């Protein structure tokens, strides 16, 4: 058979497979809908008639495979048709208006949105010469995500398109293989994971892994194959025992076994420096039942058959993952002394676990964006990230780079789940703090947060949260962001919000100063910056109003720190001494030795004494120390006494290393919330 005839036969076979797959997932499909698919195929075949792929195959093979993937996920007819036509506008003579006229507006819109997407050339971020190309690529990615806010099927079509392209990536040039594979691992596979589409995520990761690291992938596959037969036989015995016990209990089940996919094994081995024999969930069993109650009944039976490993049980049915994933996970010690992970779920949960957000078309859920984003929290983040940059100048490289960094920040981070006081689940990147939580709830809540209760105990804003923490934010109308917050926040996007806050605040202060200068005639001011010394008794001060360079030190009587309102006093023979403006030791009358000064930076640490008065009780002193330690503050010296004249009252003094006035205020506010504390203040 000639090669052309073989390819023709292959495309005909694929189209028959497409129709069979559609009918399998939608037995009630109408003749009109079937005709729409046939018409889409005929146009795609005609449009790509003279085009070939790098493999030598007719181009039509690609859209057919994309459509089949979409059909397997149970997507609707318009989406499958758009999959067949997704390259028509970009690569052929047919335009959007033609597709709208011949088919419908929905299909035309989907095809147009997918057409806008081009590759994100990550390598070019390091090359200034390629900034314009990279910027254009990032903008195309943003436009795709923006289109997906209105219709998430845009991303789903692109994921199916990427999956088939990765299966034939070996025909690309080496530098393209590397770039495209990195793009898949950095962008497309994480997006699939955020949308709960684990089947596509796993396939994309394995294909990219094998393309990038062929030697490592082959070595790992060989290690798995060495024990594959014996492992599968062993799992068959476990499955047989389990199936029998479940049937005795009246629970009908489908039991599958699986070995973890290659890239996931590779990641775990590298991250935890383990051998393949040390991976707990390398081998696993999946139990699929009809009802939710059967899931918990099956779990009880499993735990009577084999001992569960402590700390390895997770209930994602009661507490689903943000992408909608539901299942029970437990790890048992098998008869051979090695652990086996067992997952238990219903058939619908299994479909959700495989196809994620796409499964909502299969089960005919309400498919508007509002209902989907309530089930898939990442869609809310997607909307925030894309809309934040919608009105910004897309020709600015820094804006494009910032958008991409924030997107990657959300895609690559491991997640933790914490609770609000009303038991709502909030998803955060691992390593997030109380401040990240506050801003995730609402920007204004973040800007006015003062402290928090974590698991009903007072905690500073810098507290790092853990899985399962319950967090309640304490606000105050006078609370405002501090520069030190930037050290406590995990999310780059939230850091940018705080930087924007300070930028606007600085602009307002400049405008205010200009107005004051216009109202009051002043002599010309000359600013002299004095660089901070490495000696912590030196202060980073900007002196205003004199063309001279003299020693600058801060007064021991009031111990000013950055953030305090300050003034300089020219002393005889000792240079300029910096006081707080409310210092009691300053002369009461104005004279020409006062000089305007302001803080230049936040690079130094200052020793400040804090005094606490509290009703004495057992454990009080330890609580005070722990509160200070949680603010990541170094204690230089600490004393405590029980004055005779104040029965039952303790006075404690701590000499602390302080970076900024807001840092000090955070410590004082946290101390005031400790049970028994009557007063916490700065000691002069």
Report, as residue numbers or ranges, the catalytic residues. Answer: 90-91
Decide: 438 and 386 in contact? Cβ < 8 Å: no
DSSP 220-253: HHHHHHHTHHHHHHHHHHHHHHHHHHHHHTT--E
Residue 260: which of 241, 235, 238 has the closest Cα?
Answer: 235
Contacts of 409 (CB under 8 A, 6+ apart): 429, 491, 492, 493
Is the CB of residue 118 less than 8 Å from the CB of residue 124?
no
CA–CA distance from 663 to each of 500, 631, 668 (Å)? 20, 8, 9
Enumerate the H helices of 310-466 as residue ranges: 347-355, 359-362, 369-375, 378-388, 397-412, 434-441, 443-447
The burial class, CB within 10 Å (0-12 / 13-18 / 19+), for 573 is: exposed
Which among 155, 156, 181, 146 has a CA at the least distance from the CA of 74?
156
| Cα distance between residue 253 and residue 195, in whole Å | 27
Q: What are phi and psi of 590, to 5 degrees?
A: -75, 135
d(CA 331, CA 574): 72
Structure tokens at 639: 């004393």
Q: Please tell me the distance from the alpha carbon of residue 238 to that of residue 24, in angstroms, as a whole number.
A: 32
Rounded CA gap, 280 and 275, in Å?
11
Distances (CA, A) of 340 to 80, 235, 288, 353, 376: 39, 9, 16, 20, 29
| Partners of residue 332 on adjacent β-strands | 308, 340
609, β-bridge pairs:
655, 683
Q: Answer for the pair 562, 627: CB distance below 8 angstroms, yes or no.
A: no
Q: Which of 54, 359, 309, 343 is nearest to 180 (CA)?
A: 54
- List the 328-333 sheet strands across, edge first: 253-259, 283-289, 339-346, 328-333, 314-315
CA angle 132, 381, 315 (to 5 degrees): 135
Helices (H), 545-660: 620-630
Phi then psi for 427, rounded to 5 degrees? Answer: -95, 135
Q: Residue by residue, what is the 3-state secondary structure of 133-180?
A: HHHHHHHHHHHHHHHHHHCCHHHHHHHHHHHHHHHCHHHCCHHHHHHH
Question: What is the spatial distance between Cα 424 and Cα 297, in angstroms, rounded to a whole number?
Answer: 27
CA 198 to chain centre: 17
CB atoms closer than 10 angstroms to residue 535: 7
Number of neighbours of residue 187 by Cβ within 10 angstroms: 20
φ, ψ dihedrals at 276, nearest 5°: -65, -30
């Amino acid at each position: 058979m000639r090669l052309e005839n073989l390819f023709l036969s292959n495309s005909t076979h694929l189209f028959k497979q497409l129709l069979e797959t559609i009918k399998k997932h939608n037995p009630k499909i109408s003749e009109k809908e079937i005709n729409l698919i046939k018409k889409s195929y005929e146009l795609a075949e005609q449009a790509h008639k003279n085009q070939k792929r790098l493999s030598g195959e007719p181009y039509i093979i690609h859209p057919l495979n994309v459509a089949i993937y979409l059909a397997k996920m149970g997507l609707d007819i318009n989406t499958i048709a758009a999959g067949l036509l997704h390259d028509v506008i970009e690569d052929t003579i047919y335009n959007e208006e033609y597709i709208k006229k011949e088919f419908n507006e929905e299909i035309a819109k989907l095809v147009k949105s997918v057409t806008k997407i081009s590759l994100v050339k990550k390598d070019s971020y390091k090359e200034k010469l390629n900034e314009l190309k990279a910027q254009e690529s990032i903008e195309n990615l943003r436009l795709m995500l923006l289109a997906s806010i209105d219709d998430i099927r845009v991303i789903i079509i692109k994921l199916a398109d990427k999956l088939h392209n990765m299966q034939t990536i070996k025909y690309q040039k080496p530098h393209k293989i590397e770039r495209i594979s990195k793009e898949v691992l950095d962008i497309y596979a994480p997006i699939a994971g955020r949308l709960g589409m684990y089947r596509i995520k796993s396939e994309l990761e394995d294909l990219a892994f094998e393309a990038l690291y062929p030697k490592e992938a082959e070595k790992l596959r060989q290690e798995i194959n060495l024990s594959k037969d014996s492992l599968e036989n062993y799992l068959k015995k476990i499955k047989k025992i389990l199936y029998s016990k479940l049937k005795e209990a009246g629970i009908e089940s489908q039991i599958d076994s699986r070995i973890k996919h290659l890239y996931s094994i590779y990641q775990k081995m590298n991250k935890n420096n383990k051998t393949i024999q040390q991976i707990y969930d390398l081998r696993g069993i999946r139990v699929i039942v009809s009802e939710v109650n059967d899931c918990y009944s099956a779990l009880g039976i499993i735990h009577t058959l084999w001992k569960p490993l402590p700390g390895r049980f997770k209930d994602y049915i009661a507490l689903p993952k943000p992408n909608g994933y539901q299942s029970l996970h437990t790890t048992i010690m098998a008869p051979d002394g090695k652990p086996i992970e067992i997952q238990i779920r219903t058939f619908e949960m299994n479909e959700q676990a495989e196809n994620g957000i796409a499964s909502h078309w299969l089960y005919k859920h309400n498919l508007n964006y509002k209902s989907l984003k309530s089930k898939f929290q990442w869609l809310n983040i997607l909307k925030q990230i894309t809309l934040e940059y919608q009105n910004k100048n897309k020709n600015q490289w820094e804006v494009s780079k910032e958008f991409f960094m924030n997107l990657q920040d959300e895609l690559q981070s491991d997640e933790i789940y914490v609770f609000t006081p009303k038991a709502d689940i909030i998803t955060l990147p691992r390593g997030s703090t109380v401040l990240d939580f506050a801003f995730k709830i609402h920007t204004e809540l973040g800007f006015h947060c003062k402290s928090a209760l974590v698991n009903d105990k007072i905690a500073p804003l810098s507290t790092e949260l853990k899985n399962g923490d319950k967090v309640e934010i304490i606000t105050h109308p006078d609370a405002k962001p501090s520069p030190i917050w930037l050290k406590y926040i995990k999310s780059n996007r939230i850091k940018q919000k705080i930087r924007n806050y300070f930028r606007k605040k600085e602009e307002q202060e400049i405008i205010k100063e200009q107005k004051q200068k216009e109202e009051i005639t002043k002599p010309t001011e000359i600013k002299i910056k004095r660089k901070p010394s490495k000696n912590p008794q030196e202060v980073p001060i900007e002196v205003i109003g004199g063309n001279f360079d003299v020693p600058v030190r801060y007064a021991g009587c009031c111990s000013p720190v950055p953030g305090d309102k300050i003034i300089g006093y020219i002393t005889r023979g000792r240079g300029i001494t910096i006081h707080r403006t409310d210092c009691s030791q300053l002369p009461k009358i104005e004279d020409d030795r006062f000089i305007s000064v302001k803080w230049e930076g936040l690079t130094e640490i200052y020793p400040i004494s804090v005094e606490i008065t509290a009703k004495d009780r057992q454990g009080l002193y330890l609580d005070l120390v722990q509160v200070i330690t949680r603010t990541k503050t170094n204690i230089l010296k600490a004393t405590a006494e029980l004055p005779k004249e104040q029965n039952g009252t303790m006075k404690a003094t701590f000499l602390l290393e302080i970076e900024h006035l807001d840092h000090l205020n955070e410590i004082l506010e946290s101390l005031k919330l400790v049970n028994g504390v009557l007063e916490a203040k700065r000691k002069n």
